[in-house]
């Protein structure tokens, strides 16, 4: 019995050949790219089995592409995506999966407080909702916008004047007074001598290693810092303690740096900030201490600067002396101050700017 005649594409014009070559170079869709290669190779005289061998596909697939191109032209190269197999899990069941995943298992009478995919799939089967695999559960949760996230704490402010104080701080941010300068002050620390976790680019499977410590006998240091919103630069001092004496000395440093005009110093309710010696000196030297609401340190604009300092200057380090650690902090602060820009637009789209009431309790 003789071999059946081979299938080849119809004669291709010069323009069609150039178009096929362009598709082979630029097509992003892998289906369209493969079909264009099949047609181009067939136009060059290669048989369907040879094309299938080179592209690692079946000869039937190659012949189907050739027949489709002969009938429909370049429209045959575009994939015809369909909806796929009908869903076997109803939308009602999918909503139930997402809802149950967001519940605490103990509320459903189970003996644990956190779901795993296996436990969730087992509960869904036992409850008669759906018998699905762990991967199906994961895909349903992903499609429903439910993610595996760490639980976080939030402490609501107990300050009865929360809104009044918040709007006072926001007004200083949005409309800096013309008679002075707005400063955000806070303490950063404690600065221990310890290996600090961090992140770095490393070969896969070979993370950087730091020593482990259990005893730290060299004490701690504290950094008093102030962010000038007009320039974006930070003034700081590192001290062994953070009492009212150190804070008062730091305020005197700020006053000497900006001797003219009024200083509006935004700070939290740390007791040294409210010491009578501090408040009386501030009142006599044209310096106003603007206190944040209680448990609202996130309103202090210097907090993001501290986060950057912790990440870029201390992350992944293991300083053995306070002098060494202080030098690294100083180097980073000099680098940051040379690139500083005025601070504008504090949380412009935040929901806090729409608050008209606030529940003062502790969560």
Residues 172 and 309 in one domain: yes
Residues 184 and 292 in one domain: yes
Structure confidence at residue 5 (pLDDT): 66
Expressed in angstroms, the distance from the first to the final Cα of the chain is 85
What the block records as the tokens of 269 is 């309710």
Residues 64 and 99 in one domain: no
Residues 130 and 39 in one domain: no
Residues 6+ apart with CB under 8 A from 120: 97, 100, 101, 137
Q: Do residues 120 and 322 lie in contact, with contact meaning Cβ atoms separated by under 8 Å?
A: no
Structure confidence at residue 1 (pLDDT): 44
**Number of structural domains in the chain:** 3
Q: Is residue 358 part of a domain?
A: no
Structure confidence at residue 153 (pLDDT): 82
Q: Is residue 118 part of a domain?
A: yes
Round to whole Å and give the CA distance between 188 and 303. 9
Residues 188 and 337 in one domain: yes
Residues 291 and 259 in one domain: yes
Which domain range does residue 34 map to? 14-77
Strands (E), 246-355: 262-267, 287-291
Taken as a whole, the chain contains a residue count of 363
Residues 182 and 322 in one domain: yes
Structure confidence at residue 363 (pLDDT): 39
Residues 22 and 132 in one domain: no
pLDDT at 125 over 70: yes
| Tens of pLDDT, residues 196-237 | 888 888 898 888 888 887 777 788 999 999 999 999 999 999
Round to whole Å and give the CA distance between 190 and 184. 19
Work out the average pLDDT over 244-265.
96
Residues 99 and 60 in one domain: no
Q: Is residue 356 part of a domain?
A: no
**Which pLDDT band holds residue 4 (cuts at 50, 70, 90)?**
low
| Tens of pLDDT, residues 50-72 | 898 888 889 999 999 999 999 98
Average pLDDT, the chain: 90
**Which pLDDT band holds residue 359 (cuts at 50, 70, 90)?**
low
What the block records as the tokens of 55 is 């592209």
Structure confidence at residue 108 (pLDDT): 92
Nearest alpha carbon to residue 174 among 348, 305, 293: 348
Residues 259 and 314 in one domain: yes
Q: Is residue 254 part of a domain?
A: yes
Q: Is residue 100 part of a domain?
A: yes
Q: Is residue 65 part of a domain?
A: yes
**Which pLDDT band holds residue 2 (cuts at 50, 70, 90)?**
very low
For residue 97, the Cα-to-chain-centroid distance in whole angstroms is 27
Structure confidence at residue 259 (pLDDT): 94
Dihedral of the alpha carbons of 318, 324, 328, 333, in degrees to the nearest 10 = 130
| Domain CATH number, residue 303 | 3.30.420.10
Residues 6+ apart with CB under 8 A from 50: 41
Residues 65 and 96 in one domain: no
Rg of the Cα atoms in the chain: 33
Q: Is residue 85 part of a domain?
A: no
- Helices 30-43, 14-26: inter-axial angle, 10-degree rounding: 140
Residues 6+ apart with CB under 8 A from 186: 225, 267, 268, 297, 300, 302, 303, 306
3-class SS string, 35-100: HHHHHHHHHCCCCHHHHHHHHCCCHHHHHHHHHHHHHHHHHHHCCCCCCCCCCCCCHHHHHHHHHH
Residues 97 and 228 in one domain: no
265: left (phi over 0), alpha (psi -120 to 50) or beta: beta
Taking the CB of residue 92, how many other CB atoms lie within 10 A of it?
9
Q: Is residue 60 part of a domain?
A: yes
Round to whole Å and give the CA distance between 299 and 175. 16
| Tens of pLDDT, residues 5-50 | 678 889 988 889 889 889 888 888 888 999 999 999 998 889 999 8
Q: Picking from 13-27, 237-251, 303-317, which range would have the lowest pLDDT averaged per residue?
A: 13-27
Nearest alpha carbon to residue 358 among 270, 294, 314, 284: 294
Work out the average pLDDT over 241-254.
96
């Amino acid at each position: 019995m003789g071999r059946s005649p081979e299938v080849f594409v119809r004669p291709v014009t010069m323009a069609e050949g150039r178009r096929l070559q362009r598709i082979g170079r630029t097509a992003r869709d892998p289906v369209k790219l493969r079909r264009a290669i099949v047609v181009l190779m067939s136009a060059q005289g290669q048989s369907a089995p040879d094309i299938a061998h080179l592209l690692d596909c079946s000869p039937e697939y190659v012949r189907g592409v050739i027949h489709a191109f002969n009938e429909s032209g370049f429209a045959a190269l575009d994939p015809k995506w369909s909806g796929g197999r009908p869903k076997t899990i109803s939308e009602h069941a999918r909503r139930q999966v997402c809802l149950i995943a967001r519940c605490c298992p103990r509320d459903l009478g189970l003996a644990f407080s956190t779901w795993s995919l296996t436990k969730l799939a087992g509960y869904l089967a036992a409850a008669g909702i759906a018998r699905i695999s762990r991967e199906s559960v994961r895909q349903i949760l992903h499609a429903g916008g439910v993610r595996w996230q760490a639980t976080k704490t939030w402490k609501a402010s107990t300050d009865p004047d929360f809104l009044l104080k918040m709007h006072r701080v926001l007004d200083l941010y949005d409309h800096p007074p013309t008679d002075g300068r707005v400063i955000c002050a806070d303490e950063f620390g404690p600065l221990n001598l310890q290996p600090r976790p961090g992140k770095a680019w490393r070969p896969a499977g070979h993370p950087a290693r730091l020593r482990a410590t259990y005893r730290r006998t060299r004490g701690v240091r504290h950094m008093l810092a102030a962010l000038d919103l007009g320039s974006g630069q930070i003034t700081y001092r590192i001290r062994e303690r953070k009492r009212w004496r150190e804070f008062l000395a730091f305020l005197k440093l700020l006053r000497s740096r900006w001797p003219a005009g009024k200083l509006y110093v935004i700070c939290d309710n740390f007791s040294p900030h409210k010491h009578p010696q501090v408040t009386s000196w501030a009142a006599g030297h044209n310096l106003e201490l603007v206190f944040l609401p209680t448990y609202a340190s996130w309103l202090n604009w210097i907090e993001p600067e501290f986060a950057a300092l912790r990440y870029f200057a201390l992350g992944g380090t293991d300083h053995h002396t306070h002098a060494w650690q202080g030098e690294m902090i100083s180097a980073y602060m000099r680098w940051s101050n040379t690139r500083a820009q005025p601070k504008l637009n504090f949380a412009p789209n935040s929901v806090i700017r729409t608050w008209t009431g606030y529940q003062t309790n502790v969560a």
